[in-house]
Amino acid sequence: MSQLPQLKSSPVNNKKSSTERFSTATRTVPANEDYIQLIKEMRSQFVGPMPPNTFLRTFMPKSEGNRLPKGYHALFADLKIEKGFEKNFIQAVRESGLCSGLLFVDTNDQVDGNFNRKPGICVYKSDHEWAKTNFPLMEFHIERKPDSYDPFHDPPQDMKRSLREKYPFEHNTVNGDHSREQISSYAASQFSVQSRAFTFSLLFVGKFVRFIRWDRAGAVVTSRIDWREKPWCLASFLWRFGHSSDNDRGYDTSVSIPTQDEILRTKAALRQRAIDVAVAQGGSEKDILTSIYSSDDTFRKFRVVDDGPDRQEHFFVASVPQWYTSSPTGRGTKGYEALDVATGKMVYLKDTWRYVALGFEKEGDTYRLLEEKKVQRIPHRVCSGDIEGQETRTHEFIKQKWCCRVVIQRHHHYRLVLGDLGRPLSQYTSTKELSQVMLDTIEAHQQAFNAGVLHQDISGGNILITDDGRGLLIDWDLSRRTELAVPAARLKSRTGTWQFMACARLLDPGNKTHEFWHDLESFFHVFLYYTILYQASRISIKDRLTILTQMEQYFDSSINRLDASDSGGKTKLNFFQPFATDFQESDLSKFLHETTLGTIFDLRDLFVPLYAVRRAMTNFRNMDAFLPSLQEARDRLKCSKPLTDILKSRLQGQGWTDDRSDGLFGKPPVQKKIKRPAKRKGKDTDLDNKPDQKKKKSRVSQDASEIVVSSLVLDIFNP
């Protein structure tokens, strides 16, 4: 077994994929801001410039006996590129016979409404008669840009290796950044709706073309090819792709189409699951959606070979994921409620690309350990294992002499199946139930720590509510074994979900070891987030907007630093001062009852001594009398007992009310707007072609209709 690599950098920044699910933003993010975010998170993840022949030989091996058809030289040489490139190129490819089994479609003006994206040319299998952009069906995309929009910058061929390691292959200009984000967004869209290990694309820039291969570690990009002087190179790409198998095109062959009987069984199980959730919330069958699954063609059968000694094979059927990430790189996690074909039981299937680095354990192995140690309030592991042959390859080339400066993480495709289901934390029926769930999961966290495992990613998405109103703590893939020696980079890697990360970790990224009390603070941020966001329905529009603004500053604010990392947490720091100005009791008491309010501030007081700016309090007499020393505060939070004592005391007390009746069945009274790019309404607003378009001014309307009331029901298929 090869030695595992060390972590190159922190696996978590303020990434789009990990933040938008819990964003509290009260405005719709324009497309150009969405572009900026993707440019930032894709920085240094393009490996190149790989020689074109090496690319073809490595990723697109030719089949024996398959020879290029004749006549393509003249077709490519005569192709006009100044105007109507897409139509001219499609005609040339069709007449050449290079890709007889594929359909090339000019989609330059045909946007996919689900993503607001439109590559210049989309390529489909010939049995799909599709006239516009359709990311679920797309084989690969082709984009064309003027020469000045090239997102990459090839170094001189004679540049020494030592200089190449410092050379920025990415062309960091306004036009280059825009093109790079654009093609990255196409890959991200394709990955999000297809079962894929990798995908390809072509990028034409002026009279040149680049070949690109994308996977969850990054992208391998070739040097520029003058495709009219060397038409055989482009022809070879098209010919080899057209004659390749689904596996060689990047499809995940461990996913297949279920039988009609399996689809019907899964539909029935999904419906019964929705009824069970509704009843658990005090409702009935009439409260669920008419259809709680998507159309038949979205159902897929997933194969999982357990990595236990018996290597048992399991199959599960699911429709669209409950949630998925929208970044082209990283873990790319998708979560499904699925039917176990063998047992007929509903399970939770997690499809992810796990980190392959020192200090990162397989999540299934962590569940095994926790079960052996009899840790309570965690789901039962059904099976788990790597998907054979599906590991990222981008990292393989970072030591090649042609490679420029990059930061690449290695990933392996992995599935985990859990036997216990729960509803999202957003569907709590009362703040008393929410408090009980928090107590359960904090106790589970402590038991796991006693067993030698620190979670390191406490968030609203990693806590579930069972049908009997208790808590489950899930998602242990970023956890750390406390007794194992791991590299300093792993200890200081900033894992977690941005909105819920400890203030200390946000303020000083990459320089502090993740400690036990950081997770305890994250539990507090989760409790604060869900009590405020889902309870602020009883106050005026003006007060509600004030609260939402404070929430955005508290949970979402970030600053991009010169070293490309993100920092934040200043509003959290202010809240942990003895005389905080945000989230004052007088404001929160307008919509939170006394017991919930007391719980919030009792928990907050545990962290105030850790962050209090004591020099600013020298003018206040007897301040130390009620504020413990920093060391006392740290010692107190070496275990979770202070938090659990507060929650137990409050839960045993009186004064709890049914304060979530208007928010039952996944209909929170206050909800964020979904962060999507602004829809295009014509050429004047086409941000695919105008990277420097001015940002739209955000506004917050005083009209009550602008307060978004969520229409989500059961949160089954929406993050």
**Would you place residue 38 in the very low, low, confident or very high pLDDT band (cuts 50, 70, 90)?**
confident
CA distance 70 to 85: 22
Q: Are 220 and 206 in contact (CB under 8 A)?
A: no
What pLDDT, on the 0 to 100 scale, is given for residue 11? 46
**Per-residue CA distances from 454 to 338, 477, 509 (Å):** 28, 11, 19
Q: Are 554 and 571 in contact (CB under 8 A)?
A: yes
Closest CA relative to residue 118, chosen from 189, 211, 39: 189
**Would you place residue 323 in the very low, low, confident or very high pLDDT band (cuts 50, 70, 90)?**
confident
**Would you place residue 146 in the very low, low, confident or very high pLDDT band (cuts 50, 70, 90)?**
very high
DSSP 606: H
Cβ atoms within 10 Å of 72's Cβ, excluding its own: 21
- pLDDT, one tens digit per residue, over 451-482 is 999 999 999 999 999 999 999 999 999 999 99
Portion of the chain with pLDDT greater than 70, in percent: 82
The stretch 120-147 carries a mean pLDDT of 92
Closest CA relative to residue 250, chosen from 387, 348, 133, 128: 387
The stretch 685-713 carries a mean pLDDT of 31
Class of the CATH domain delimited by 255-663: mainly alpha
For residue 703, pLDDT over 70 is answered with no
What pLDDT, on the 0 to 100 scale, is given for residue 662? 42
Beta strands 313-318 and 140-145: pairing type?
Answer: unpaired
- pLDDT, one tens digit per residue, over 648-695 is 999 998 878 777 644 333 344 333 333 333 333 333 333 344 444 333
Q: What is the mean pLDDT of the chain?
A: 84
The stretch 199-206 carries a mean pLDDT of 97
What pLDDT, on the 0 to 100 scale, is given for residue 488? 58
For residue 4, pLDDT over 90 is answered with no
211 φ, ψ (degrees, to nearest 5)? -95, 140
Q: Could you please report the per-residue DSSP string of 120-176?
A: SEEEEETT----S--TTT-SEEEEEE-GGG-SB-PPPTT--HHHHTT---B--SHHH
What pLDDT, on the 0 to 100 scale, is given for residue 531? 93
Q: Are 695 and 30 in contact (CB under 8 A)?
A: yes
Distance from chain centroid for Cα 561 = 22
For residue 83, pLDDT over 90 is answered with no
Of the given ranges (21-25, 122-126, 205-209), which has the lowest mean pLDDT? 21-25
Which range has highest mean pLDDT (95-99, 260-264, 613-617)? Answer: 260-264
For residue 516, pLDDT over 90 is answered with yes
For residue 701, pLDDT over 50 is answered with no
- pLDDT, one tens digit per residue, over 279-298 is 888 887 777 765 566 688 89
The stretch 513-523 carries a mean pLDDT of 95
Tokens 């080339």, residue located: 397
395 or 13, greater pLDDT: 395
**Would you place residue 699 in the very low, low, confident or very high pLDDT band (cuts 50, 70, 90)?**
very low
| Residues in contact with 163: Cβ distance below 8 Å, sequence separation at least 6, in sequence order | 155
The stretch 579-588 carries a mean pLDDT of 86
What pLDDT, on the 0 to 100 scale, is given for residue 271? 92
What pLDDT, on the 0 to 100 scale, is given for residue 629? 87
What pLDDT, on the 0 to 100 scale, is given for residue 330? 92
What pLDDT, on the 0 to 100 scale, is given for residue 428? 92
Q: Is 343 exposed, middle or buried (0-12, 13-18, 19+ CB in 10 A)?
A: exposed
Closest CA relative to residue 381, chosen from 308, 315, 442, 481: 308
For residue 604, pLDDT over 50 is answered with yes
What pLDDT, on the 0 to 100 scale, is given for residue 489? 59
What pLDDT, on the 0 to 100 scale, is given for residue 130? 75
Segment holding 489, helix H or strand E: helix 488-492
3-state secondary structure 362-398: CHHHHHHHHHHCCCCCCCCEEEEEEEEEEECCHHHHC
| Residues in contact with 518: Cβ distance below 8 Å, sequence separation at least 6, in sequence order | 456, 501, 502, 504, 505
What pLDDT, on the 0 to 100 scale, is given for residue 562? 57
**Would you place residue 490 in the very low, low, confident or very high pLDDT band (cuts 50, 70, 90)?**
low
**Domain parsing of the chain, residue ranges:** 42-242, 255-663
Taking 3-state DSSP, the helix, strand and coil percentages for the chain, each rounded to the nearest 5, stand at 35, 15, 50
| Residues in contact with 91: Cβ distance below 8 Å, sequence separation at least 6, in sequence order | none
704 φ, ψ (degrees, to nearest 5)? -60, -25
| Angle (nearest 5°) at CA 290 between 287 and 291 | 125
- Cα-Cα-Cα-Cα dihedral sign, residues 434, 438, 439, 444: positive
**Would you place residue 3 in the very low, low, confident or very high pLDDT band (cuts 50, 70, 90)?**
low
CA distance 443 to 641: 9
What pLDDT, on the 0 to 100 scale, is given for residue 511? 66
For residue 697, pLDDT over 80 is answered with no
- Cα-Cα-Cα-Cα dihedral sign, residues 632, 637, 641, 642: positive
What letter represents residue 292's amino acid? I
Of the given ranges (26-30, 338-342, 678-682), which has the lowest mean pLDDT? 678-682
Q: Which residues lie across from 143 on neighbouring strands? A: 203
**Would you place residue 581 in the very low, low, confident or very high pLDDT band (cuts 50, 70, 90)?**
confident
Of the given ranges (224-233, 313-322, 593-602, 684-693), which has the lowest mean pLDDT? 684-693
Is the preceding peptide bond at 49 cis, omega within 30 degrees of 0? yes
What pLDDT, on the 0 to 100 scale, is given for residue 667? 40
What pLDDT, on the 0 to 100 scale, is given for residue 711? 25
CA distance 629 to 631: 5
165 or 342, greater pLDDT: 342
What pLDDT, on the 0 to 100 scale, is given for residue 710? 26
276 or 129, greater pLDDT: 276
What pLDDT, on the 0 to 100 scale, is given for residue 685? 32
**Would you place residue 586 in the very low, low, confident or very high pLDDT band (cuts 50, 70, 90)?**
confident
- pLDDT, one tens digit per residue, over 263-280 is 999 999 999 999 998 888
Q: Are 574 and 582 in contact (CB under 8 A)?
A: yes
What pLDDT, on the 0 to 100 scale, is given for residue 295? 82
| Angle (nearest 5°) at CA 352 between 674 and 121 | 65
